[in-house]
Structure 1
Amino acid sequence: MIRTWVGACAAVATLFASTVQAEDIRVMTSGGFTAAYKILGPQFAGESGNTLETTLGPSMGQSPEAIPNRLARGEQADVVIMVGYALDDLIKKGVVDPKSRVELADSRIGMVVRQGEVVPDIRTVDALRRALMQAKSIAYSDSASGVYVQRELFKRLGEPEVLGAKAKKIEKTPVASVVANGEYEIGFQQVSELLPVSGVSFAGRIPEDVQSITRFAGGIPVNAAHPALAKALLDYMAAPAAQTVVKETGLDSVPH
């Protein structure tokens, strides 16, 4: 369902008018949507009169910071924002209300090199393959984009053994940061996670023929303390007028 900005703002205004005192809305968000959330979240907080208590963590994986692991050990949240299929898993487990799911944005994978280095042409699959074959080291994330790079991209480029041997999964740390400090020559991650990091040059999105699009979505845990406010926040971030921020931060609007 297409949500209008007017409707989202009206919901915020209604909740603000009916709130006796400001509430703390607990939000867990994963990297891909974080840049957009850091802009839209404070806007919502300013209009609603409530505050946001934000926790960052990956959508999946074994690290204790991962959102599913946080929830499993009893950490509380009103909103979770994460990779869509990881959210679906929480819905299947009964952790997140299935009716609360809101589609937020699509995310594509991009590539960076250290600032000052020659930026390779990766506009075609052949050009991307050449750039990776010439690179001495490759870094990728421990979330959805990294899973794809490790399991699919190298195979689709026809060089899984050669590329896999010089590639490393980077846990808990933005991939662009280990490229910026010279630890790795090339880095892959969601575009929205690469752009905020200084010290790197953005080579571009990988070609559509070998691209992987990750849907980011939000949901409300079944034990949320403030489900109405949580819904208002998700509707606010999915509204049409929020799409300028979504696109400026490297994401793509969800097709309707």
Structure 2
Amino acid sequence: MANTIRMLSTLGLMGAMRSLSSAFETASGIKVDADFAPTLALVKRLRAGEAADLVILTREGLDEMIGEGRVIAESAAGLARSFVGIAVRPGQAHPDITTAAALRTTLLAARSVAYSRLGASGVYFAQLLVRMGIAAEINAKATIVEQGFTAERLVSGEADLAVQQISELKQVQGIEVIGPIPLDLQTPAVFSAGRMANAAHAEAADRLLRYLASPEAIPVLRRSGLEP
């Protein structure tokens, strides 16, 4: 069995996967070499030929990789759901985001809103702005993050509000998560894992995949802001 598994994971699961990978390494003696990036960036890298044993993507991204024969369909396992939320700087008043109308008012009042271009949350948020009829106003003052954590723009003072998966917002120290965008406005992102068809260490990858999808992983997922 391999001593090292190469895992590519979407950014939304970074906190949980770091904890779970560490526990897996201790129990199995198998090292996990993990790399984290937004799903769209990972899909692009996989299409360019980057090698991996295991991938964790949004369900849509994983389905694309299965359809292209890059991931084995039978190995696919749903791991967690994640909702998009909003964060502010510590001590900043928590604006109302509990209804669609309140969210609209809050977004329009913000000096700048940080959101990502490549992540699932950013794709969703850009579409939401169009649906709400405020895309031009918000994008004229938005702080666009190509990839990485949008809440870092709160710490730097570039933005008043940061929008991203709650599990990603929680990765940044020195910010406060207000809560999720109204649930009737969003469909949770589903993150799923699968073994690569050309995995160099298939047996070890399957072992890690079983662990990540096991009941043992549930408390870790919940602590990082995800729903199993």
- TM-score class, shorter-chain normalisation, is over 0.9
Unaligned runs of 5+ in 1: 1-18, 61-65
The partner residue of 2:24 within 39, 44, 47 is: 44
Q: Which segment is superposed worse, 109-118 or 181-190?
A: 109-118
Which residue number corresponds to residue 63 of structure 1?
none
The answer as to whether partners of 1:113 and 1:180 remain within 8 angstroms in 2 is: no
What is the distance in 2 between the residues matched to 1:211 and 1:69? 25
* Cα shift readout 1:10-32 (whole Å, capped 9, x = no counterpart): xxxxxxxxx5xx61111111111
Q: Give the drift of 1:57.
A: 1.7
**Higher Cα radius of gyration:** 1
Among 131, 143, 152, the alignment partner of 2:119 is 143
| TM-score, length of structure 1 as denominator length | 0.84
| In structure 1, distance between residues paired with 2:14 and 2:57 | 10
Q: Does structure 1 conserve the Cα–Cα contact (< 8 Å) formed by 2:76 and 2:195?
A: yes
Q: Which amino acid aligns with 1:242?
A: A
Of 223, 226, 251 in structure 1, the residue corresponding to residue 201 of structure 2 is 226
Deviation at 1:33, TM superposition (A): 1.1
Alignment of 1:88-167 (within 5 A): 88-141=63-116, 142-151=118-127, 153-167=128-142
Q: Residue 21 of structure 2 aligns to which amino acid in structure 1? A: G
Match of 1:178 among 140, 143, 153: 153
CA deviation map 1:120-144 (0-9, x unaligned): 1212222211211111111111211
- TM-score normalized with structure 2 length: 0.94
SS at match of 1:68: helix
Percent sequence identity is 39
1:114-166 Cα distance to aligned partner (Å, 9 max, x none): 22321212122222112111111111112111001012x11343423322332
Residue 167 of structure 1 deviates from its aligned partner by 2.4
Consecutive unaligned residues in structure 2, runs of 5 or more: none
- State the distance in 2 between where 1:167 and 1:181 align: 14
- Give, in whole Å, the separation in 2 of the partners of 1:201 and 1:116: 8
Counterpart-to-counterpart distance in 2, 1:56 and 1:163: 28
Q: Does 1:79 align with 2:54?
A: yes
The answer as to 2:188 corresponding to 1:208 is no
CA distance in structure 2 between the aligned counterparts of 1:157 and 1:72, rounded to whole angstroms: 34
RMSD: 1.5
Supply the distance in 2 between the matched residues of 1:241 and 1:127 (Cα, whole angstroms): 39
AA aligned to 1:45 is E
Match of 2:14 among 34, 37, 44: 34
- Cα deviation, residue 49, structure 1: 1.1
Residue among 237, 240, 251 paired with 2:215: 240
Which piece of structure 1 moves more, 71-80 or 23-32?
71-80
Query: Is the contact between residue 37 and residue 148 of structure 2 (CA under 8 Å) also seen in structure 1?
Result: no
Is this contact kept in 2: 1:40–1:237, CA < 8 A?
yes
